[in-house]
Structure 1
Amino acid sequence: MKTHVFRAKIVWTGNLGQGNKTYKGYERSWEVRTEGKPVIACSNDPLLGGDPSLHNPEDMLIAALSACHMLWYLHLAHQAGVLVSGYEDDPLGHGESAPTGAGRFVGATLRPRITVAAGTDMARAEALHHEIAQVCFIARSVNFPVRYEARYEIA
């Protein structure tokens, strides 16, 4: 078994001068600073007082799940002889919050729009989605069901 290490640096940027002395006296903002990569400004979910113009942890989780799926789809499609010339996804994360405020994802729906070459074996193109859950780091790590609602265009 090969092991991997993934690194990120999270830096809170929401100190307005008195730290978190009062609940409303600080911002729920931070930056992801990974060496050699662009900084990503982030905030809490807008429902919890965050800045709606910035990415929040939930955005980033669903984006990571979708991106991992896409990369594996392209790889498996290549191996299967399915020529892909376009791929976009509008994934949805489904969550719930308890009265205590504790939240969790209860599911996700990936909704890729995939452009494939004329003559593509569409049954094979569709079947690839179900193989990804066996190999994708993110999909194998989440504890909620992930559904796939792929749509295809022929180029």
Structure 2
Amino acid sequence: MMAEHEYTARIVWSGNLGQGTSTYKGYDRSWTVETPGKPMIQCSNDPAIGGDPGLHSPEDLLLSALSGCHMLWFLHLASDAGITVLGYSDDPVAVGEAGKQGAGRFLRVTLRPLILLPEGTDEAMADAVHSEIHKVCYIARSVNFPVEIEARYRFGE
């Protein structure tokens, strides 16, 4: 039996410009994520539909969560496999679609990690680690769209 875990956050809309949502264009799409004991995250809607391009959107946060979960599991499983990771960065890409009424969804995500490994590390072993991650990552196991991995490796000290 799997143990349940609970996660909490507080979402607070901060976009009332004085008249609430009395008109569609009369309010701001800004909000905050306030998780107890952690820094507040200022957010907005996707800029394509009226959001502030300088703030994180829900789509940004989902993509970042998926990439971050993959990274943390890669580090863990690589360590278990005897693979030393010296550096890790990712430039993930999400592709979505939106209908005429604004309803949208992610179609797919491609994670593109660049991983620094010591000279002589077996690249095939590192690739094998990626294939195990979607069996254990909370976020990857929770999404209903394909997640592809295009890992790249650099070797050095």
TM category, shorter: over 0.9
Structure 1 runs of 4+ off > 4 angstroms? Answer: none
Pairing 1:57-136 to 2, within 5 Å after superposition: 57-136=58-137
Task: Compute the TM-score of the two structures, normalised by the length of structure 2.
Answer: 0.97
TM-score (norm 1): 0.99
In structure 2, C-alpha distance between the alignment counterparts of 1:65 and 1:9, rounded to whole Å: 20
Q: Return the offset for 1:118.
A: 1.1
Given residue 68 of structure 2, which amino acid in structure 1 is its aligned partner?
A
In the alignment, which residue of structure 2 is the partner of 1:56? 57
Aligned residues: 155
Return the alpha-carbon distance in structure 2 between the equivalents of residues 19 and 35 of structure 1: 27
| 2:141 matched residue in structure 1 | 140
- Structure 1: where are the runs of 5+ without partners? none
Residue 129 of structure 2 aligns with an amino acid whose one-letter code is L
Distance 2:86 2:54 in 1: 31
Over the matched positions of the two proteins, sequence identity in percent amounts to 63
Partner of 2:3: 2
Structure 2: which 5+ residue stretches go unaligned? none
1:74-116 alpha-carbon deviations (Å, 9 max, x no partner): 0000000111010000001110111221100010000000000
CA RMSD between the two structures: 0.5
Deviations 1:37-75 (A, max 9, x none): 000000000000000000000000000000000000000
SS at match of 2:52: coil
Shift of 1:119: 1.3
- Quote the Cα distance in structure 1 between the aligned partners of 2:55 and 2:101: 25
